[in-house]
């Protein structure tokens, strides 16, 4: 299995950004933990981060032509308003798991709504870096179920 992890806008600043919500782990540490867990679970994990919406859309388009079995995405603030990223994710015919480090529902009102959730298989939030690790496990479960023809994407 090959899993693509997408990190959106401002997430390269994890470790230096708002530690009350995001803790002290850097994005590189999160990516390393994902690769380690992927190896334990027999999956290859590739991560990608950008602060440019169009670049993210193009990376998602590329994934549609790649041998990728599921996506884990934390789109950062784009989560709350980027219909362009939602439309791009909707093109993928593989499971997409939305993750957030913080509990977005316990924060400002604008964070309560995700324009991505309706095109995702499911969402995980509020567990810090563990949100990503749980997201990877969920993505692998969903990809395996898909391969076995057991669930809708």
Annotated binding site: 74, 80, 87, 101-102, 111
Nearest to 44 by CA among 5, 93, 101: 5
Distance CA 81, CA 130 (A): 25
Taking CB under 6 A as the binding criterion, the range among 40-48, 61-69, 73-81, 86-94 that sits at the site for ligand DQA is 73-81
Asked if 100 is part of the footprint of ligand DQA (rule: CB under 6 A), the reply reads yes
How does strand 122-125 pair with strand 44-49? unpaired
- The edge-to-edge listing of strands for the beta sheet with 96-100 is 44-49, 2-9, 70-76, 96-100, 122-125
Containing 111, the helix (H) or strand (E) segment is none
Phi and psi at residue 15, in whole multiples of 5°? 100, -25
Q: Which of 47, 74, 82, 121 binds ligand DQA (CB under 6 A)?
A: 74
Q: How far is the CB of 34 from ligand DQA (least distance, A)?
A: 14
CA 61, CA 102: separation in Å to the nearest integer?
Answer: 27
Residue from 76, 95, 129, 135 in contact with ligand DQA (CB under 6 A) = 76
Residue 27 in contact with residue 11, Cβ under 8 Å?
Answer: yes
82 belongs to the binding site for ligand DQA (CB under 6 A): no
Residue 123 found at the interface with ligand DQA (CB under 6 A): no
Interface segment toward ligand DQA; rule CB under 6 A; list 26-34, 56-64, 75-83, 88-96: 75-83
Catalytic residue among 7, 52, 61, 100: 100
The residue within the footprint of ligand DQA, chosen from 28, 55, 64, 77 (CB under 6 A), is 77
Annotated binding site for substrate: 74, 80, 87, 101-102, 111
Does 3 engage in binding with ligand DQA (CB under 6 A)?
no
């Amino acid at each position: 299995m090959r899993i693509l992890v997408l990190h959106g806008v401002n997430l390269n600043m994890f470790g230096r950004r708002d530690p009350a919500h995001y803790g002290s782990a850097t994005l590189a540490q999160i990516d390393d933990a994902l690769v380690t867990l992927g190896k334990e679970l027999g999956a290859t994990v590739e991560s990608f981060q950008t602060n440019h919406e169009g670049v993210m859309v193009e990376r998602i388009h590329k994934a549609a032509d790649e041998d990728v079995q599921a996506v884990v995405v934390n789109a950062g603030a784009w989560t709350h308003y980027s219909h362009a990223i939602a439309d791009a994710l909707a093109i993928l015919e593989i499971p997409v798991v939305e993750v957030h480090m913080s509990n977005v529902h316990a924060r400002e009102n604008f964070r309560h709504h995700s324009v991505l959730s309706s095109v995702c298989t499911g969402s995980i939030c509020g567990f810090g870096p563990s949100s990503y690790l749980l997201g990877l496990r969920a993505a692998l479960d969903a990809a395996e179920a898909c391969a076995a023809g057991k669930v809708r994407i």
